[in-house]
Structure 1
C-alpha cells in the first residue's frame, strides 16, 4: 500500500485558512500519512515538528518561481527544515526561459549540499506546462538532485494524452505522483479544468494508478485540492482517501482491469 498525502491547498478556503494544527488533526483522523505544504504557509518554520507531534511526514514544500522571486526561492531551499523535497513550478515567462535555467543553476548546488530534491512540477497555464518540458530540463542539467513530479491533474488539463508514453518518458526522474479528480471545463482553474475529490470528475485515476503500477512505481501519492471544491473540507479529505484505497485494493486484485482498449468512437 502506498503512503497517501494531501496538498494543503484544500485547507485554504474562501473563508480563510485552517490552522496547521487543525490540518494535521484532520489528516490523521481521515487516514493520511503526510502532507505537502505550500511555500506561502505561515508555519514553514515549524515543519520539523509535524512528524513528532502527529506522526505525519512532510512529503514536500510546493514552491513557485517567477521573476523577482529569486531571493525567496533561494532562501527557501537554503532554510527549510523537516522536509527533503521541493516541488518547483516554473513561471518566469512563456515556456521555459533562461531565468528558469538560472534559478536552477543557483539552487541545485544548495539542494545537493543539504540533501534536498528539487522536483519539477509541470503546471497548466504556467511557463513550464508539460512533462516534456520537465524532461528536457532534467536531461540538460543531468543533476542527481533534480527530478519530476507527475501530476495527473495537470497532465490531463494540458491534454498531453499518451499516458503510458508520458510516464515512460519521465520514469528516470519520477520522484512522486500527485492526483485529483478533474474534468475539462471553463469553470475550472485557469479556465481549463476543475479540481475535485478522487471520486468525482471525468479523469480515470484508476487507469493512471494502474499504469504507474506497471511502470514499477511504489512511491507516495499526494492528492491535490483547491478552494473551488467547496463544501466540507473534512468530508472531501475522507472521500478522496476512501476512493484512493478502494482503487488501490482493486488494482491488487484485478490489475488487468486498468488496461483499456482504444475508444470505440
Structure 2
C-alpha cells in the first residue's frame, strides 16, 4: 500500500505570484498526490471544505505561524477553520521557546478540544522552536492528546540536529506527520542554512530517512516541502518529487536492507 503523499502549497507561491487553489488541486491530482498542506495566509481558506468533493484530495493540514502580534490571527484560524482538522504550528516568539508560546498553546488547546482539531508542533530553523528536542519538551510539559509533532526532514537536516535514530525515538510518542524535502547545506538556502529542492536533489538522504521510519512502523501521511527558490516549472517539480518518493517506496519494499547504513565516519 502506497503512503498518502501530500505537498505543501509553498511550491505554488512563486516570485511572480500565487497559483489559485483550483489550479493547485488540479496539478496535485494530475501528478499523483493525495492531498496538500495549506498555508494560513492563503486567501482561499473558505474553499477548503470543497477540496475533497471537487478534486478528491485531502486537506491534510494548515501551516500556521505564531509570533507576538499574531494572537488574533492565530485564534481566528482555530475558531473558524473548516475542511481541515490539523494545524501545523510553528512558534517564533524569540530565539528560543518563550512563555508567550506556552501561553498561546494554553489558549489553543481548549479550542482544539471543542472543535476537534489536532495541533502538531512544527520545528523550524531560525525560529524560536527550532529543534525536535524543543518540540518534545513542550509535548511532555502539556501532556495533551491533541498536541503532537511533525517531523520535518528538511528542518532536522538544516539545523544539523543529528542523531536521527535517537531523535525519532524521542519524539515517537507524539509523531503525527512527516515532511520531506531535497536539501543541501548552503548559505544560499532559506535563512542562510539550507536549500529546499525536489526530492531527487540535494544532500539529504531521504531514502534512508524513509527506511528508518518504515522500520519503526510509521504508516501515516508524508508531506513534501517546496519553496519559491526552487525555480523552474512548478508542475515539473511536483512530478519529480512524486516520482522520487514512489521510487524510494518501491525500493524499500523490495530491498529494505538497502536503507540500513553505517553512520558517516568523516
TM exceeds 0.5?
yes
1:113 CA drift (Å) = 1.1
**CA distance, structure 2, for counterparts of residue 29 and residue 157 of structure 1:** 31
Aligned partner of 1:6 in structure 2 is: 7
Residues 1:117 and 2:118 aligned together: yes
Q: After TM superposition, which residue ranges in structure 1, 4 or more long, deviate above 3 angstroms? A: none
Aligned partner of 1:147 in structure 2 is: 148
**CA distance, structure 1, for counterparts of residue 75 and residue 138 of structure 2:** 19
Aligned partner of 2:34 in structure 1 is: 33
Residues 1:84 and 2:85 aligned together: yes
**CA distance, structure 2, for counterparts of residue 45 and residue 261 of structure 1:** 48
Q: Structure 1-normalised TM-score?
A: 0.99
Aligned partner of 1:188 in structure 2 is: 189
**CA distance, structure 1, for counterparts of residue 29 and residue 165 of structure 2:** 33
Unaligned runs of 5+ residues in structure 1 are: none
Aligned partner of 1:227 in structure 2 is: 228
Residues 1:241 and 2:221 aligned together: no
1:112 CA drift (Å) = 1.1
The CA deviation string for residues 199-251 of structure 1, in whole angstroms up to 9 with x for no partner, is: 00000000000000111100010000000000000000000000000000100
1:94 CA drift (Å) = 1.5
Aligned partner of 2:58 in structure 1 is: 57
Unaligned runs of 5+ residues in structure 2 are: none
**CA distance, structure 2, for counterparts of residue 94 and residue 240 of structure 1:** 32
Residues 1:68 and 2:69 aligned together: yes
1:264 CA drift (Å) = 4.2
1:263 CA drift (Å) = 2.4
The CA deviation string for residues 141-190 of structure 1, in whole angstroms up to 9 with x for no partner, is: 00110000000000000000100110111100000000000000000000
**CA distance, structure 1, for counterparts of residue 255 and residue 75 of structure 2:** 46
**CA distance, structure 1, for counterparts of residue 92 and residue 179 of structure 2:** 19
SS at match of 1:198: coil
SS at match of 2:128: coil
Q: What's the Cα RMSD here?
A: 0.6
Aligned partner of 2:161 in structure 1 is: 160
Aligned partner of 2:202 in structure 1 is: 201
**CA distance, structure 1, for counterparts of residue 260 and residue 220 of structure 2:** 21
Q: Structure 2-normalised TM-score?
A: 0.99
Aligned partner of 2:251 in structure 1 is: 250
SS at match of 1:16: coil
Aligned partner of 1:172 in structure 2 is: 173
1:78 CA drift (Å) = 1.0
1:262 CA drift (Å) = 2.8
